[in-house]
A = this chain, B = another copy of it.
Amino acid sequence: MTKLYNDPADFRQELLDGFVAAYSRLVRRVPNASGVMALGAPQPGKVAVVIGGGSGHYPAFCGYVGPGLADAAVMGNVFAAPSAEQVYRVTKAVAADRGVLYCYGNYSGDVLNFDLAEERCREEGLDVRSVRVTDDVASAGKGQEADRRGVAGDFFVFKAAGASAVRGDALAEVERLAAKANQRTRSFGVAFGGCTLPGQREALFHVAPGRMELGLGVHGEPGVESSHMRPAAEVANLLVTALLADTPSGAGGRVAVLVNGLGSTQYEELFVLYKDVHQRLLAAGLEPFQPIVAEAVTSLDMAGCSLSLLWLDEELQPLLEAPCRSAAYTN
């Protein structure tokens, strides 16, 4: 339950103020807009990577702004996509001379608003492209990959886009690589308990004691299936099985791994889970590459976790390995 707030209507504004006050060594507020930009932006000679979405998912999105990652993040209200107007303003603030790539999770609200901003920028002659993250296998079946929503896989796609942009790749190339990272990323999550919007007393949803929800969305969208709670080893098995069943075409044997906590689930639990995830991946003949066990894309105080795999190749691996610096992730 959200406990620390003043007027719930000011929540987005105040969290951005606090974020920028804390991390002024990395970011500043986009003037007159609900967004955060890297200190060095706009950076001539570089494609600008603009990420964004609703609030409530920190480190997504503002935690990933900085050198080697995003140039800016547009921040909507809790669980609400930012408006097209805000996306537009942030874009104008960070666009340099090589164009702009939008990267965001594939949700109706985000698509509508980023698309409107993209159209407006294009009318002004600014080259803007978009890569929508669609990693959640629970949200649409095989063959409908483009309809899937974006969850923790955001992290891999942002990292790939940021690393490509910072080394000077052209917009079409940054777009291609981000799209490729997305095309090869799969996630699946489970939830054990609901989250509560600031100022609300009732949780968005409840998970009955002793049960868990499979495939639940990061905004509390109900899962695709409900199950009794299982030991960590079985949950690991279930997550790995769901992803391997959806292995993307052209996949190799090396996978970047992200075990993501949604909010209330402890790091210790994530490590207990990872123990078996690791063994299952090895057993499936896969080589886990620089696994990350952390809170990368949260959902307020939801209890639960997800597993994301990115099947690497020789193009993508260096992008994940590349250095970067941001409030939430430094490599």
Which residues of A are in contact with B by a Cβ distance under 8 Å?
1-6, 11, 14-19, 21-23, 25, 55-56, 58-59, 63, 78, 192-193, 198, 212, 229, 231-233, 235, 257, 259, 263-276, 278, 288, 290-293, 295, 298, 300-301, 303, 305, 327, 330-331
Contacts and interface: CB of A to CB of B under 8 A. Distances in A.
B4 A275 contact: no
Given A11-B272, A292-B22, A303-B3, A58 B266 contact: yes
The majority secondary structure among interface residues of chain A is mixed
Nearest to A323: B330
Task: Report how many copies the assembly holds.
Answer: 2
A18 B330 contact: no
Nearest to A236: B4
A71 to B, nearest CB: 20
Contacts of A257: 22
Contact of A330 (B267, B301, B331): B331
Nearest to A19: B271
A268 B58 contact: yes
A232 B269 contact: no
B232 A273 contact: no
B231 A5 contact: yes
Interchain residue pairs A-B with the least CB separation, the first 6: A18-B271, A18-B275, A4-B269, A58-B267, A18-B274, A15-B271
